[in-house]
Amino acid sequence: MSQSGQAVAQIALPVPLPQCFDYLPVPGHALPPVGSRVLVPFGRRRLVGLVLGHGESQTPANKLKAIEAVLDEGLIGPDLLALHAWASRYYAYPTGEATQLLLPPALRRAKAFRAAGPNGFELTPAGHVAAAEETSKRAPAQAKAMDALRQGARTKTQLTEHGIKAATLKTLVDKGWITPTALIETMSPVPGPTLNAEQSAALDAIVSKPDGYQAFLLAGVTGSGKTEVYLQAARHALDRGLQVLMMIPEIGLTAQLIRRVESRLGVRCHVYHSDLSEGERLSCWQDAMAGRAQVVIGTRSSVFLPFQSLGLMVVDEEHDASFKQMDGARYQGRDLAVVRAKSLDIPIVLGSATPSLESLNNAKQGRYQTLVLNERPGDAIQPTWRILDQRGQHDGLSPELTDKIAGHLKRGGQVLLYRNRRGFAPVLMCQACGWQADCHRCSAHMTLHQSQQRLQCHHCGHQSPTPRRCPSCGDPQLVPLGTGTERLETVLSGLFPDWPVHRVDRDAMSGRHDFERLLAEVKDGGPCILVGTQMLAKGHHLPKVTLAAVLDVDQALFSGDFRAPERLGQVVYQVAGRAGRIASTSGQVSEFVLQTRHPEHALLTQLCQGDYRAFAARLLDERQAAGLPPSEALVLLRAEAHQPEAVIAFLRSAMAPLAQAGLQVQGPIASIMPKRGGYWRYQLWIQAPSRRALIDGISSTWPRLYDLPTAKKVRWHVDVDPVEL
């Protein structure tokens, strides 16, 4: 006869172990409901955890510890707990990550959660009387606040904008003249343009079934009006009293988007990302929960926000790799958004000029409905495409390109040059003996940063002064090989002294405000050259750019990463999308240029047909033929350590249990960058006849890998649907 066990709460804790931990209730109390935030003793520490379930433990009661305090009862709702349960199984991450994903940082500490106070103030009856009275004796700050509130209730934000301080408001609350009140901030919306036929068709599809799940893939070049479609779809959700989440890859250039959303929808936008202060994150989180946040713009972590009544999700630039979390819980925010939309039974729109093969495959399989915007409003002319041979060029610019740049500048156009390498030169070499400056911690060259006279490793951050002589043979002739953005800036400034050259990369731009300022200046300014990295390629509106170029595509042509051609295609089409926006208005012909040392390469010929989706469809066929994602699911078991033998030993010992679970395992294989930051990195490639079999096999096996003796000597994790190798 089985003995009935102790009733316990199963609690997720922020510790690097796969399981939940059992705790007895606070003495004299019932078990806290699932979703409660609790404080528990753990070893010698006290930790904040989340109750994920109730169960019975066979451990004797005197061996179990009790919950010390229930901080918030039932804080996290069932929909988010279910999303997390799904994600932790699918992405094979420790359950304890729940505390990181479902709680904003301020709630991961023992301090009790205070529900956000209302966001505004109004006069009390006594306040109305006081406000009507003689005010000469009143402090001016208080008089100002009372005056502002005589017109009606105001939000804290509005009061702050009037220069009214929180301390003044507190004094008035203490006097009983004003009281906090909950307000929804609205402004009068500015009407948008009338949608063209394609946009209307897309909008109709999205809003046709507002109470049901459907995923849409909205494919349209930059400037084709995707954002207008998002905004009008959001309008429909807001009109029905529902909230809207708009996910974006990075917070880089959101100021423009926020202004646009606010003015068009007439509501205050809430923002959620990891650069915010703890207080700001907490307040957005609370506003989402209270339903006050009507529109949230957020990065991948916003997929776990506790919305009260979410009605629409949008994932913009859905192809962007930043939606994948690369440490801790390695989830794909875009795909998880689809899972959440499905469980909430609401529509979701994934938008991109260059959709990921994953989403294109989902559309091909009928899981997503494709909506296409082919035309650019007011600008139907596509730029002409050219491939230029850069063989024999040392400074990174072919003579034809230099001529073109001069021509465009003289005709009043702006020029955008993309080179995904910051610094002066990617290699520093000794001509005498062939020595190259390498990072001793990574399998990579050090990049020369000339203005700082330093060598920098872009992978681990290691830096050293530029040597004056070759450390190997003593020769003083050290030559920089190749070109980074810093060198291009120097070369271009020399070639075109009459026009401004702006460099856009992490070194030149100290923060996103710098960048926003530059963009605003360029948008309204005269001819100039912009040279920069990935930062520059992402969707901004630079209406005066008539020549855009990708300066070096060759690395991607010969990469060992099967995703390299897809990424190249995305960058090329994103950059090409910068040119041609003004063609019809100015009469200027826009051009797009690809520079390469392999002008005959088949991939480039395919790219230059000018149709991203046709290009991507071909790549998808190739992936299918090769049994690669997204046609076949892939999981990596990755491990790293200072000793490569330890890594290989661990991965070898993991192969048997994985194979026993019916999985096909290959490896150990070195990562594309075998050594990084002093760690040697290897991986197992794991596949199975079906995605379901793969996830089932992984989820039943990976928690047992902690028990392997070899596991103690390495850092390891499971990466489901990896985005880098």
Q: Pairing relation of β-strands 347-352 and 310-316?
A: parallel
Pick the closer one to Zn ion by CB: 313 or 442. Answer: 442
Tell me how far, at minimum, the Cβ of 134 lies from ligand ADP, in Å: 52
Pick the closer one to ligand ADP by CB: 232 or 332. Answer: 232
Spatial distance between the Cα atoms of 165 and 169, rounded to a whole number of angstroms: 7
- H-run or E-run covering 216: strand 214-220
Tell me how far, at minimum, the Cβ of 459 lies from Zn ion, in Å: 5
Tell me how far, at minimum, the Cβ of 707 lies from ligand ADP, in Å: 50
Residue environment code for 552-574, b if the CB has 16+ CB neighbours within 10 A, otherwise e: bbeebbeeeeebbbbbbbbbbbb
Do 591 and 579 form a contact (C-beta atoms < 8 A)? yes
Considering only the stretches 70-78, 97-105, 192-200, 711-719, report the one whose residues sit in contact with ligand ADP under the rule CB under 6 A.
Answer: 192-200
Site track for ligand ADP across 505-544, x = CB under 6 A: ----------------------------------x-----
> Which of 411, 248, 418 is closest to 334 using CA atoms?
248
Name which position in 41, 55, 125, 193 contacts ligand ADP (CB under 6 A).
193
Q: Does 224 bind ligand ADP (CB under 6 A)?
A: yes
Query: What are the backbone angles phi and psi of residue 524, rounded to the nearest 5°?
Result: -100, 0
- List, in sequence order, every residue forming a beta bridge with 681; answer none if it has no partner: 640
Site track for ligand ADP across 367-406, x = CB under 6 A: ----------x-----------------------------
Name which position in 19, 196, 384, 624 contacts ligand ADP (CB under 6 A).
196
> Which residues 149-188 are close enough to bind ligand ADP by CB under 6 A?
none
> Which of 674, 100, 703, 253 is closest to 439 using CA atoms?
674
Pick the closer one to ligand ADP by CB: 209 or 541. Answer: 541
Name which position in 72, 97, 228, 552 contacts ligand ADP (CB under 6 A).
228
Q: Does 546 bind ligand ADP (CB under 6 A)?
A: no
Residue that the structure tokens 């926006």 belong to? 581
Q: Does 189 bind ligand ADP (CB under 6 A)?
A: no
> Which of 703, 694, 648 is closest to 671 using CA atoms?
648
Name which position in 10, 155, 227, 352 contacts ligand ADP (CB under 6 A).
227
Spatial distance between the Cα atoms of 599 and 611, rounded to a whole number of angstroms: 19
Q: Does 241 bind ligand ADP (CB under 6 A)?
A: no
Q: Does 574 bind ligand ADP (CB under 6 A)?
A: no
DSSP 8-state secondary structure symbol assigned to residue 118: P
Q: Does 412 bind ligand ADP (CB under 6 A)?
A: no
Pick the closer one to ligand ADP by CB: 206 or 430. Answer: 206
Cis omega before residue 480 (within 30°)?
A: no
Site track for ligand ADP across 7-26, x = CB under 6 A: --------------------
Q: Which two structure tokens, joined as six digits, stand for 303?
A: 């997929």
Pick the closer one to Zn ion by CB: 434 or 689. Answer: 434
Q: Does 225 bind ligand ADP (CB under 6 A)?
A: yes
The footprint of Zn ion (CB under 5 A) covers 430, 432-433, 435, 439, 441-442, 457, 459-460, 462, 470, 472-473, 475
Tell me how far, at minimum, the Cβ of 547 lies from ligand ADP, in Å: 20
Tell me how far, at minimum, the Cβ of 270 lies from ligand ADP, in Å: 21
Considering only the stretches 195-203, 281-289, 387-395, 690-698, report the one whose residues sit in contact with ligand ADP under the rule CB under 6 A.
Answer: 195-203
Spatial distance between the Cα atoms of 563 and 702, rounded to a whole number of angstroms: 26
Tell me how far, at minimum, the Cβ of 256 lies from ligand ADP, in Å: 10
Cis omega before residue 471 (within 30°)?
A: no
CB atoms within 10 A of CB 712: 10
DSSP string, 339-408: HHHHHHT-EEEEEESS--HHHHHHHHTTSEEEEEE-PPTT--PPPEEEEEE-TT-SSS--HHHHHHHHHH
> Which of 620, 723, 627, 609 is closest to 364 using CA atoms?
620
Name which position in 142, 199, 420, 533 contacts ligand ADP (CB under 6 A).
199
Q: Does 426 bind ligand ADP (CB under 6 A)?
A: no
Residue 475's binding partner out of Zn ion, ligand ADP, none, with CB under 5 to 8 Å set by partner kind: Zn ion
CB atoms within 10 A of CB 703: 14
Question: Which residues would be at the binding site for ligand ADP (CB under 6 A)?
Answer: 193-196, 199, 220, 222-228, 377, 539
